[in-house]
Structure 1
């Protein structure tokens, strides 16, 4: 096992560590397709190929990180699928990935300072908050079992949801070592067991599924409206990517922001997102859970993530695994989401605090206020060929206000 970063070294003895790291990412990885109605096997497959593509792009100095399903896109994907269908939604995600590519080009030719000027904390923080708050009604409905009243009562649903939630919180607060990195997976397992004893689990899909099954790949189609809708959503996870790269740099004592550079890591993340959508998978993002596992194990060899990626690809073709995931009762996931969606909002607040954004400053207050109201209030700006709503509208409003509102001499937060 490595005790410091020495670059990419492909060794078979690291394969078990790679499987362990996939285990850390697994719970969050499969939650996004479960919540959005996408195929969990496709999500496993695209996480694997996305991570391998990222490693190819950053091959000169590969960071030991794993890419998988992004939580920031849950609400937009759900809305887009309902309005335009899965193929058109995937087309929008392809272009959301291209947004990362454009940012990487801006960094390559204009430097990182330009990116921070375009997307400062006073814009990014509130946008992240709105992602969590917009998702919260979906979590509450799932925890209450709405839409599944024929299968179980609301009281039964909320019992399972809160047991799942409590189990997740206990692991986050009190577990040690690697166990502390799998609170989502632990919460799902506990909730699933409780659901089984309450008669809420139907094992028929497991018995009927084959051991080997091709994932339900879906090719994208390209329609103007979902493309314009999805592109602004990429702003928040793009900024999150920078934070994750800084985190893994601190863990490994290797400055990945310099080499391979943000210009290449953003490019790799964007191409991985677009590639995932070409197969019908959710957008990819760097996983902080896996970074935490790297910190604990001191396993800095990036080849470990190669083994994790290969394992994810192989598991994507195990039909029984997909069937098991499909039998997880909705309240189990809903209970965990009550916490996770709130945490997303809290991360946005932390962004404002960490960068000393002064909300007593009128300019900052105006930007934050209008991002919140435009994103959460249900506002729709329809210009015929293009329309903006939700998180995308909030992000656009924030960027425009940040560029046009004059700064005072006391202005802080950039």
Structure 2
């Protein structure tokens, strides 16, 4: 795998200080919109989500021995379950936070099992015919979000479409025509350019920046009394227990996300440093986030897309992005300023980012020379794509499978049970 990938900076390589800071800001911009959206939906403090995102990424780097360029941000998978738990507890976050705390511990438990049984099963369960469509589903499964944010909807505001197109074209032309360092920061330049266009079109509201303080402590929630921060209590009722089965789904997504990154970087991350380490990093990060009152963490496809486009896989860049996120959680006006970036600008950038992820799925199928003359391969890929992109949902008791998780499980099962055809 390693030989087929050309990276400008490999995992263990570092850019110069000035270049590295700009590259890190590029990752911060990529994750910011989604990371703050989750707490906004759930009515949680944005500053805590940012702090947990940065700290969680650092925890992940320690767990994986700084060998995987992953950025962790707020997870969307638990929004519905957490919102329901908060609603049933009349606004009390205790059940939701306790549930997410134990989800992190479930990750650690699964990681312990993986360490014992090894990772040889990964090649059996995830051959190219399953990995390729899985990566395509991960990328295109996010397409609707990108298109909606970009304003390509019925009765949408034409100004959003113009800002999105401008952002997209700037990123595309910088990436294809740029020279030297400019070529590897296309999204940073695109966001700045798109922001200027949005500002000229009257899409930017500076009121949040004016109202925000320069410095403020994140509004932590802790499971014990304190004179500074708010408190929630550990709660083990049914509202909390209903959150736990979702961990099965997010573990499947975890494997899929790392499979995408492995393809982009040309390194078998699920084997080295190993799925057990990546799961521990993800799980401990999620548990720590829940402990301080933040949402669950997860690996971010937006940042994986940035790596795919720029071919900069440096872990030091990701680490510095995490430190910047932590700093932003204390800087009210800076956080507010970034939050003024219109969704159309982020949508225009996301069209490219998510498309890059999906294209890597096609690359897997092409480079592995998957034979679609074999009917079994056609059936596996077709079913995965339709279920993954068609909005299929399967509920089994408290567990709900959809999107990437359902698509991956179906692909794995079909690959195991369908008879292999004789080579022509």
Shorter-chain TM-score: which interval?
0.7 to 0.9
In structure 2, the partner of 1:343 is 356
Alignment of 1:250-399 (within 5 A): 263-276=276-289, 278=291, 279-281=293-295, 283-285=297-299, 287=303, 308-399=321-412
In the alignment, the residues of structure 1 paired with residue 172 and residue 281 of structure 2 have an alpha-carbon distance, to the nearest angstrom, of 33
- Once the two structures are superposed, residues 345-392 of structure 1 have per-residue CA deviations (whole angstroms, 9 ceiling, x without a partner) of 222222222322222212221111111222222333233333323332
Which region of structure 1 is more displaced relative to structure 2, 33-42 or 50-59?
A: 33-42
Deviation at 1:54, TM superposition (A): 2.7
- Once the two structures are superposed, residues 200-235 of structure 1 have per-residue CA deviations (whole angstroms, 9 ceiling, x without a partner) of 211111000011233455789864555434533443
User: Does structure 2 conserve the Cα–Cα contact (< 8 Å) formed by 1:28 and 1:69?
Assistant: no
SS at 1:387 equivalent:
strand
Pick closer, same or farther for the CA change 1:216–1:325 going to 2, 3 Å. farther
User: Does structure 1 conserve the Cα–Cα contact (< 8 Å) formed by 2:107 and 2:247?
Assistant: no
Deviation at 1:91, TM superposition (A): 7.3
In structure 2, the partner of 1:30 is 32
In the alignment, the residues of structure 2 paired with residue 96 and residue 351 of structure 1 have an alpha-carbon distance, to the nearest angstrom, of 31
Between Structure 1 and Structure 2, how many residues are aligned?
Answer: 390
Pick closer, same or farther for the CA change 1:368–1:387 going to 2, 3 Å. same
User: Does structure 1 conserve the Cα–Cα contact (< 8 Å) formed by 2:106 and 2:247?
Assistant: no
Pick closer, same or farther for the CA change 1:341–1:311 going to 2, 3 Å. closer
Pick aligned residue for 1:49 from 55, 63, 68: 55
Deviation at 1:320, TM superposition (A): 0.8
Alignment of 1:7-406 (within 5 A): 19-33=21-35, 36=38, 38=40, 41-59=47-65, 62-63=66-67, 65=69, 67-69=71-73, 76=77, 101=108, 104-105=111-112, 107-144=114-151, 154-215=157-218, 223=240, 226-229=243-246, 231-241=248-258, 244=261, 263-276=276-289, 278=291, 279-281=293-295, 283-285=297-299, 287=303, 308-406=321-419
User: Does structure 2 conserve the Cα–Cα contact (< 8 Å) formed by 1:164 and 1:190?
Assistant: yes
Task: Give the gaps of 5 or more residues in structure 2.
Answer: 1-8, 88-92, 223-233
In the alignment, the residues of structure 2 paired with residue 228 and residue 368 of structure 1 have an alpha-carbon distance, to the nearest angstrom, of 27
User: Does structure 1 conserve the Cα–Cα contact (< 8 Å) formed by 2:151 and 2:157?
Assistant: yes
TM-score (norm. length: structure 2): 0.73
User: Does structure 2 conserve the Cα–Cα contact (< 8 Å) formed by 1:211 and 1:318?
Assistant: yes
Pick closer, same or farther for the CA change 1:246–1:188 going to 2, 3 Å. closer
Deviation at 1:339, TM superposition (A): 2.1
Deviation at 1:319, TM superposition (A): 0.6
TM-score (norm. length: structure 1): 0.75
User: Does structure 2 conserve the Cα–Cα contact (< 8 Å) formed by 1:95 and 1:274?
Assistant: yes
In the alignment, the residues of structure 2 paired with residue 208 and residue 229 of structure 1 have an alpha-carbon distance, to the nearest angstrom, of 38
User: Does structure 1 conserve the Cα–Cα contact (< 8 Å) formed by 2:119 and 2:274?
Assistant: no
In the alignment, the residues of structure 1 paired with residue 102 and residue 159 of structure 2 have an alpha-carbon distance, to the nearest angstrom, of 42
In the alignment, the residues of structure 2 paired with residue 178 and residue 275 of structure 1 have an alpha-carbon distance, to the nearest angstrom, of 36
Which region of structure 1 is more displaced relative to structure 2, 324-333 or 158-167?
A: 324-333
- Once the two structures are superposed, residues 128-161 of structure 1 have per-residue CA deviations (whole angstroms, 9 ceiling, x without a partner) of 22233332222222222769x7xxx622221111
SS at 2:398 equivalent:
coil
SS at 2:419 equivalent:
coil
User: Does structure 1 conserve the Cα–Cα contact (< 8 Å) formed by 2:108 and 2:279?
Assistant: yes
- Structure with higher helix content: 1
User: Does structure 2 conserve the Cα–Cα contact (< 8 Å) formed by 1:246 and 1:256?
Assistant: no
User: Does structure 2 conserve the Cα–Cα contact (< 8 Å) formed by 1:178 and 1:293?
Assistant: no
User: Does structure 1 conserve the Cα–Cα contact (< 8 Å) formed by 2:258 and 2:270?
Assistant: no
Pick closer, same or farther for the CA change 1:182–1:31 going to 2, 3 Å. farther
In the alignment, the residues of structure 1 paired with residue 179 and residue 97 of structure 2 have an alpha-carbon distance, to the nearest angstrom, of 39
In the alignment, the residues of structure 2 paired with residue 275 and residue 314 of structure 1 have an alpha-carbon distance, to the nearest angstrom, of 18
Pick closer, same or farther for the CA change 1:291–1:338 going to 2, 3 Å. closer
Which region of structure 1 is more displaced relative to structure 2, 185-194 or 95-104?
A: 95-104
Deviation at 1:276, TM superposition (A): 4.1
SS at 2:210 equivalent:
helix
User: Does structure 1 conserve the Cα–Cα contact (< 8 Å) formed by 2:23 and 2:185?
Assistant: no
SS at 1:112 equivalent:
coil
